[in-house]
């Protein structure tokens, strides 16, 4: 019997200065199949690992500011309730919940040492 994780890591992002170079690097280094870059300032491309049978989906794009970062996203049932709990435990809300039209709800928090982690509620 499989042990189901209550709040699994469900998405990752790699954002940096040169989205095109990052897409090329990860595609060649790991054989990841990336979708086309979108028309947003992030030049965001989806990485679809689940379709290939294992792993989690993610995205690679351009950081809106600074050198970039890597973020993982934890699946939750309620982003605001998860942020409330995080804050009770010493974390800090970085981005309150945002509903993507026709898509997921996401939020960001910093843990007690300042590491930024995402939360995501899949659309129903």
pTM higher than the cut 0.85: no
CB 57 within 8 A of CB 97: no
**27-84, pLDDT tens digit by residue?**
999 888 899 999 999 999 999 887 767 788 999 999 998 889 999 999 999 999 999 9
Task: Tell me which of 1 and 58 has the higher pLDDT.
Answer: 58
37: DSSP letter: P
Counting the structural domains of the chain, the total is 1
CATH number (domain holding residue 45): 3.10.180.10
d(CA 12, CA 124): 20
Q: Domain limits at 80?
A: 9-121
The answer to the question of residue 3 being in a domain is no
The answer to the question of residue 2 being in a domain is no
């Amino acid at each position: 019997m499989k042990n189901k994780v209550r709040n699994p890591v469900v998405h990752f992002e790699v954002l940096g200065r040169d989205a095109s170079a990052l897409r090329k690097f990860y595609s060649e280094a790991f054989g990841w199949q990336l979708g086309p870059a979108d028309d947003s300032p992030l030049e965001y491309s989806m990485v679809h690992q689940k379709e290939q049978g294992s792993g989690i989906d993610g995205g690679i794009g351009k950081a809106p500011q600074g050198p970039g970062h890597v973020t993982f996203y934890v699946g939750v049932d309620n982003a605001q309730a998860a942020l409330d709990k995080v804050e009770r435990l010493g974390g800090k809300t970085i981005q309150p919940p945002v509903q993507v039209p026709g898509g997921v709800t996401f939020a960001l928090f910093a843990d007690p040492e300042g590491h930024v982690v995402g939360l995501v509620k899949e659309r129903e």
